[in-house]
Structures are given as C-alpha cells and as structure tokens.
Amino acid sequence: MNEPKYYIVLDVERNFRPYKSHDPSEVVDIGAIKMEAGTMRMKGQFSALVKPSAPLTRHTTKLTGITKRDLIGMESFPQVMERFTHFIGEDYMFISWGKEDYRFLSQDCELHGIECPCFEKKRRFDLQKFVFQAYEELFIHTPSLKFAVEQFNLEWKGTQHRAFADAENTANIFLKVCKEKDMYKRYKRHGELILVKNGQLTEKAKKKMRKWVFKELKKNKQRPFTWGVFQNSDTWENISERFYIDTRTLLLLQKYFTTAVKKGEWQLKVLAEMEKQEEKR
C-alpha cells in the first residue's frame, strides 16, 4: 500500500429511517479534515449540511440535533459533492470510523446520477477496525467513536453525531494511532473466542456464525446464498482478519453454514412481517 499525498478523515450523517420507507435515507451532513500524509499537518476542513429530497425525520433530529430549519437554503447533494470532490483532490486516502459512510455516499451519487469519488479498497482505511485489532488490551468489542476517545484519554470535541465533530475526533485518534502503531501493518487479535472445542464448534461459535450470516444475508441479495458467495463477502474478509481459522475450523464452519442460512432467512421473514405491520399502523 503506497502512502498518499493526503489523508481525508471523513464522516457523514444521513436522514435515517428506522423502518422501511419509500423515501431514501439521504446524506444530510458531511464533514472532513484534510491532512498532509508526510507531516500529518492539517491542510483543510470541509463541513456542509445537505438538503435532502425527502423530509427530515424526527429520528435524525433526535440523533444529530439537525432540524428542518437548519436545512433551509442548504445546497443539494450534487452541489455539495462538487465542492467536496474539489476539496479532496486526486491523491488521497479516506480515513473513517467504520466503512458505512462510503456506502451512503455511493448510494446518493447513484440516486442523483453523478460521478462518485473513488472509494476502492486501496483508497480506504477503516480506523475503527484497525483500533480494535491493534489495541486488544483496550477493546473487548468493536468500539464506538465516543468510547474510543475515552479509552485513549482524549478530549471529545464538538457535538456527537455531527459530521465535522465526528471527523475531528476520528482525526485525533488517527494522529495518536500513527505515533504508536504502523498503520500499514495488519494486526490480528490473540486470545479470541474459542471456536472449536473437542472437535466441535462451540455454542458461542455457532451463535457468532449465525450473526455473521444474518448480517450478510441482509446486505447481499444474491440467491442462492452459497458458501462461496459468503466467502467472497466483506463480512468473511473481516472474520478472517479477526480470527485465526485453521483448516479444521473452516470445515466445521462450512458444515454449519446451511443451518445458519436457514435461521437467517427465517429472521428476515419475521422482520419483513414486522415492517408490514408497522406500515399499516
């Protein structure tokens, strides 16, 4: 992985809907900090509210503090993205807390029929995953941004769940991590969950497998959902990075896969029925 000229520490907030809706869950807030890779000095800031095409939800206002009044007169997504694309330049790597933000931006670019910035893997660095893997002594579970700030004894800046504030706090963690770890090294956690005992998957391992499969079933619409499809997924990539999986464990997971898929598909049917009932209210 080659070092870019700039790191773009990115965060976005979207107009979230907890239940299924015909309205899109569009991005409403984009924040970013531009850092020179060679010196780690800040070279620019970007912060913009985005006027969505659908009404702002109460859930979004409660989470972010953004109100309908705040969005009056704000630019549309294509207008904001034009400025954002100019801001990031051409030689960059995105730094983010998790990887959902790329999906949100890509979906909105497709929705509005505009060209999307390059989000291919070599242009992305998931700081949340890196921190979880590299600082095993601090984090039992994948940490939230707020919890990570606390664990690193840093001071929280700004309002939580506002894009620029979250980007600023992510940048502060990134600066600390770069002083202490090699960001281009792949760290793996030790002493993880025991997946196999006495030649069989443990109950905790089965529970984990069901969770992994269900997560991917929700995202991946490819059917039939085979073992091969699962192994090519981002979910499996994350699993293989996090756990040491030998040949025996792999075979046991593959054997249990069919059961996990059946249970996951049943869960999806239950959720779909709940959403239908909610829409009727």
CA triple 52-128-221, angle to 5 deg: 60
Are the C-beta atoms of residues 38 and 2 closer than 8 Å to each other? no
Q: 171 is written with which tokens?
A: 């940048």
Q: 192 is written with which tokens?
A: 């993880």
Residue range 229-250: mean pLDDT, rounded:
82
**DSSP letter (8 states) at residue 70:** G
Tens-place pLDDT, residues 97-140: 998 999 999 999 999 999 999 998 889 999 999 999 899 889 98
Tens-place pLDDT, residues 143-164: 999 999 999 999 999 999 999 9
The helix or strand, by DSSP H or E, that contains position 27, with its residue range, turns out to be strand 27-36
Angstrom distance (rounded) from CA 263 to CA 246: 25
Flag whether the pTM goes above 0.85: no
Phi and psi at residue 6, to the nearest 5°: -130, 145
Tens-place pLDDT, residues 38-76: 999 999 999 999 999 999 999 999 999 999 999 999 999
Counting residues of the chain whose pLDDT is more than 90, the rounded percentage is 69
Q: Domain spans of the chain?
A: 6-180, 196-280
pLDDT for residue 247? 86
Q: Please, what is the average pLDDT of the chain?
A: 91
CATH 3.40.1280.10 fits 6-180, yes or no: no
Angstrom distance (rounded) from CA 82 to CA 274: 39
**DSSP letter (8 states) at residue 226:** -
Beta bridge partners of 47: 31
